[in-house]
Structure 1
Amino acid sequence: MILIDPPLVHRYGRVWSHLVSDQSFEELHAFAASAGLPPRGFHRDHYDVPQEYYDQMVVLGATEVSTREVVRRLSAAGLRRRR
Structure 2
Amino acid sequence: MTVLIDPAQWPAHDTLWSHLVSDTSIEELHAFAGAAGIPRRSFDIDHYDVPRHEYDRLVAAGAEPVSANELTRRLIASGLRVRAKDRRGH
Shorter-normalised TM range: over 0.9
Post-superposition shift, 1:44?
A: 1.0
Structure-2 residue corresponding to 1:46:
47
Provide the secondary structure at the position in 1 that maps to 2:49. strand
Structure-2 residue corresponding to 1:37:
38
8 Å contact kept, 1:44–1:82: no
Question: Per-residue displacement from partner, 1:16-36 (whole Å, max 9, x unpaired)?
Answer: 000000000000000000000
Extract unaligned runs of 5+ from structure 2: 85-90
Aligned pairs, how many?
Answer: 83
Post-superposition shift, 1:43?
A: 0.3
Provide the secondary structure at the position in 1 that maps to 2:8. coil
User: How far apart, CA to CA, are the structure 2 residues paired with 1:28 and 1:9?
Assistant: 20
The TM-score normalised by the length of structure 2 is 0.91
Extract unaligned runs of 5+ from structure 1: none
The TM-score normalised by the length of structure 1 is 0.98
Runs of 4+ in structure 1 deviating by more than 2 angstroms, as ranges, are none
Computed over aligned residues only, the root mean square deviation of the Cα atoms, in angstroms, reads 0.4
